[in-house]
Each structure stands twice: as structure tokens, then as C-alpha cells.
Amino acid sequence: MARGAAWMVLFRLIDRSIGVVSTTVLARLLIPADFGLVAMAMSVIAIVELATAFSFEMALIQKADPLAEHFNTAWTLNILMALGGAVATAALAYPAASFYGDPRLVPVMFVIGAAWFVSGFENTGIAHFRRDMNFSADFRWMASRRLIGFVVTMVAAVAFRSYWALVIGSATGRLTGVVMSYLMHPYRPRFALKGSRELFSFSGWMLVGNIANAALSRLPQIYVGRVFGAQSLGAYSVGSEIAQLAHTELVAPINRAMFPGYSRLAQDPEAFRRVCIDATAAILLIVLPASTAIAMLAEPIVRVLLGAQWHGAVPIIQILAFSGAVSAVNSNNTSAYLALGKPYLSVLILVTRLFVFVVAVIALGSGHGVAIVAYAELAASFGCLAVSLPILLKSLDLGVAQYVSSLWRPLVASAVGAAAVHGFVNAAGGDGFAGAVGQLAAGLAVGAVVYPLMLWGLWRLSGRPAGVEVMIGTRVAAALKKTLGRAG
């Protein structure tokens, strides 16, 4: 699971790097209207995709001993869903073109719809990559699809200098995924619907969860835009993206590795409990210092990356960074529920979070500015945890003391590290861009020293338990030894 998490984080870094390069190059080859046209099409298609997001591959991974009929049924259902999505996309092409007043949307949506249909034929055999914990193969499959799509997009942009480069690149990525799925895995699915009931009993809840998750991600921005206007929405959107970096860039790919690992342990309660505690501790050990650093250094981060005119994003980053840390624990709990074959629990948690957010927004009102919405998101995260954690402990027959035993050290070490960074940055001061760079560099250096030292000290005071610190320390020491050996 640790190796799988490393592979998934590596892919995320590569994917992000490609995205930055792609945007930088395309911004010079295309005009903003080209991006806007494709965004118009995708805003409509995203709704259709959400209605077909059953995530059948998750059911294949979770199932203890899936048969060929389950893989064949998942493949058949994916084709049917893709066909329905393609037809709906084509049917909405003319209404969307009329709504936006741009007839170019019609052929764009036709092409994207056709590529969507073809993507439904993706080989369900690649679910074995995650089932068998073969994350290097999963990495190669995802990376090849991303890289080929990127190259084709660049070539098309140079050749056509129009929005068709974006459309062709997107379609190529989907088609590459289909071709590579058959080249990389020998399984050959057939048309079948025999296992539909079993798959829908799990994937039906996944659909509801995906819809609730989409509502959670969009509702705060919709509310901010409606109540506070475009300028506040811009600050909130950018601030939220920065604040959630630790969650989106680390926890999300880690959870991709956690879920199949948990699924393999679902029949072994003792091992499941042990791994769940260690995984949560590992996530906290990584995410908490990253999130607290983002919160403590929000002001110099904004001044360096965005400029002084984005000062309104600072409180948003400070609040939502902590919300992201809490969400990291909730997402790990969700992976555990899914692995135990209880997807309805993950839906319950999401609905709880959505309910708490709405209640918090109504209770706090709009008289205190846009930060109220961020506080509502933070309250929703803690409300979600207050429901999620007791359910997890009961599901695993796990005591509170046993669960907290490995988690308190990252919590305390992060709090001390955050206090040290905050105090040092405030004492350092500094105006302008150069001062912000100095604050940022100094704050990161202080945190990088204080946090691991504090964590090590707490581990020794605890009697040197065989927790996640030992596992990570052993792996780091082995990697350093190997690197030094090569250098020697």
C-alpha cells in the first residue's frame, strides 16, 4: 500500500506538471475564446457524466472474489452508460449552442460525445492492476494516456491554432485509454448482464455519493458568487485551490492505493484495524504539517504567487487549510467503508457534511463577509468527522484509545511546528515581494526542522512504539543508504 501510494503521488505530480506546461504553451498558441468554447461544452457534459458515474470498477476491486461474469457485466454496463452519455451529449448540442449563442458548440459536442462512447469499451481487466496492488502498471496506463493526449494536443495546437486542438487532445486521451487497456492486460471482456444486480447494489450508492460530492464542491462557490459577486468568488476559488493542495495532491492519490489494500484485508478484521490506524497516522503525519504550513504561511504565499491584489484570499486559505486536513481523515474513513462493502455509509457522511454546511451558512449569515462560507466548510468537515469516526470505530470494533494511540503525535508535533512557524514569520516581518519570499523560505525552513524533531521526541517519550514513524524512518534510511552507496 505504501509503494502504491508513492506511485499514485508520482502520477499526480507528473499530471500536474504536464497541466502547467500544457496551459503555459496553449495560452500562447490559442486565444481565451478557444478555452471558453470548450469550457462551455464541458459545463454541459459534466452534468451528463455525473448522471452516469456508477464507478463499476470500484465494485470489481471491492468484491472479494469477482468472477468473469462480473468483469463482463461491468464492461457491458460501461458501454451502455457511455452510449447513453454520448446520445445525451449529441441531443444537448443544439440547445447548448442556442443557449450560449455559439453554433460552433454543435460539432465540438458531437466529437466529444463520440469519443465518450468509444471510451466505454475500455478493458475492465485493468481493474486487476489495483486489485493485485500492481500500481506500477496502473501508473504506466494512466501516464501513457496523459502523455499521448498532451503530445497530440500540442501538435494540433501548432497545426490548427484553434479550439480543435483542445477537443482533439481530449478525444485522444480517451481513445488512448481504450487502446492501452487492451495492450497492457490480456483479459478480453464479452457482452453480459448476468451480474448486474450485484454491481448495482454497490455502484448505485457510488452514483449517489458522486452526486453529493459534486454538490459539496460546487455549492460554496455558487453561494459566494450569488451573494458576494465575481471578485469575492475569484478570491474564494483560488484560495480554496491553494488551501486544499495537501488534500488534492497527496491524500487523493494515496486513497487510490488505500482502497484496494483495504479491500484485500476486509476478511481479516485484526489486520484491517491495524492497517487502518497506520494509514490514518501516515496521512496525518504527511498532511497535517503541510496543511498547517499553508495556513501559517498564507500571507507570504499569496504575496509571492498571486500578488498583493489577492489579499482577500488569505483568510480563505487559512481557514480551508484546516478543513482540508480534517477532510483527509474523512476520506480515509470513506475508503474503509467502501472496502467493507458499505458504500451507503460514505453517502451518509457526504449528506451529513452537505447538511451541516447549509445549516452553518444559514446560521452564520452573510453579514460578516465571504470568510463565513469558509467557516461553514470547516464546520461541515468537523461535523462530518463527528459522524464518520464513531461509525468507523463501531464498524471495526475499535476502541478510541487504540485509534488515537498513533495519531496524537502528528497532531501535537504539527501544532508545535505551526506555532514556531507563525511566531518566526511574524517576528521576521518584511515588506514587498522580497520580504514575502524571505518569510516563506524562513518559515518552511523552521517547520522542516521543528516538526520532525518534535515528532521524534514524542515518539521516544512514548516508548518508541512500532508505529508509522518506524516504517517511514526505516524506508527513508534504506533509500538514503542505497543512494549513498551508489554515490560511493
Confidence of residue 47 (pLDDT cuts 50, 70, 90): confident
Written as nine digits, the cell of 221 is 462557490
Q: Which of 130-139, 371-380, 406-415, 424-433 has the lowest mean pLDDT?
A: 424-433
Written as nine digits, the cell of 466 is 512500532
pLDDT at 430: 67
Question: What share of the chain in percent tops pLDDT 90?
Answer: 41
Alpha carbon distances (Å) from 294 to 158, 217, 407: 38, 20, 21
pLDDT tens digits, one per residue of 153-203: 999 999 999 999 999 999 999 999 999 999 999 999 999 998 898 899 898
Q: What distance in Å separates the CA atoms of residue 465 and residue 366, rounded to the nearest whole number?
A: 48
Q: What distance in Å separates the CA atoms of residue 220 and residue 281, rounded to the nearest whole number?
A: 29
Q: What secondary structure letter does DSSP report for 251?
A: I
Q: Smallest Cα–Cα separation from 296: which of 146, 85, 439?
A: 439
* 182 against 234, higher pLDDT: 182
* 332 against 429, higher pLDDT: 332
- DSSP for 194-224, written as a single string: TTHHHHHHHHHHHHHHHHHHHHHHHHHHHHH
Q: Smallest Cα–Cα separation from 285: which of 425, 473, 144, 102?
A: 473
Q: What distance in Å separates the CA atoms of residue 168 and residue 216, rounded to the nearest whole number?
A: 31
- Can you give the length of the chain in residues? 488
Q: Smallest Cα–Cα separation from 315: which of 295, 334, 335?
A: 295
pLDDT at 366: 66
Question: What share of the chain in percent tops pLDDT 70?
Answer: 98
| Rounded mean pLDDT, 290-303 | 91
Quick check: 443 pLDDT over 70? yes
Written as nine digits, the cell of 168 is 482533439
Quick check: 486 pLDDT over 80? no
**Rounded to a whole number, what is the largest CA-CA distance in the chain?**
70
| Residue 64 dihedral angles phi and psi, to the nearest 5° | -65, -45
Q: What secondary structure letter does DSSP report for 248?
A: I
pLDDT tens digits, one per residue of 389-440: 999 999 888 888 888 887 899 999 999 999 999 888 877 766 778 888 888 8
- DSSP for 404-457, written as a single string: HTTTHHHHHHHHHHHHHHHHHHHHH---HHHHHHHHHHHHHHHHHHHHHHHHHH
Written as nine digits, the cell of 202 is 454497490
Q: Smallest Cα–Cα separation from 346: which of 262, 273, 240, 241?
A: 262
Quick check: 253 pLDDT over 90? no
pLDDT at 223: 87
Global confidence as pTM: 0.82
Q: What count of Cα atoms within 13 Å lies in the side-chain half-sphere of residue 10?
A: 13
pLDDT at 311: 86
Alpha carbon distances (Å) from 425 to 252, 303, 435: 30, 14, 10
Average pLDDT, the chain: 88
Written as nine digits, the cell of 381 is 468537515
Q: What distance in Å separates the CA atoms of residue 291 and residue 284, rounded to the nearest whole number?
A: 10
Alpha carbon distances (Å) from 231 to 160, 312, 319, 323, 382: 34, 9, 19, 23, 28
Alpha carbon distances (Å) from 168 to 106, 146, 156: 15, 13, 7
140 CB-near residues (< 8 Å, 6+ apart): 184
Return the axis-axis angle of helices 343-364 and 371-396, rounded to nearest 10°: 150
Q: Which of 39-43, 312-316, 319-323, 448-452 has the lowest mean pLDDT?
A: 39-43
pLDDT at 139: 94
Q: What distance in Å separates the CA atoms of residue 252 and residue 339, rounded to the nearest whole number?
A: 16
| Rounded mean pLDDT, 272-283 | 87
Q: How many CB atoms lie within 10 A of CB 292?
A: 25
pLDDT tens digits, one per residue of 11-38: 988 988 898 788 788 888 888 888 888 8
Where do we find the cell 452514483?
Answer: 207
Q: What secondary structure letter does DSSP report for 73?
A: H
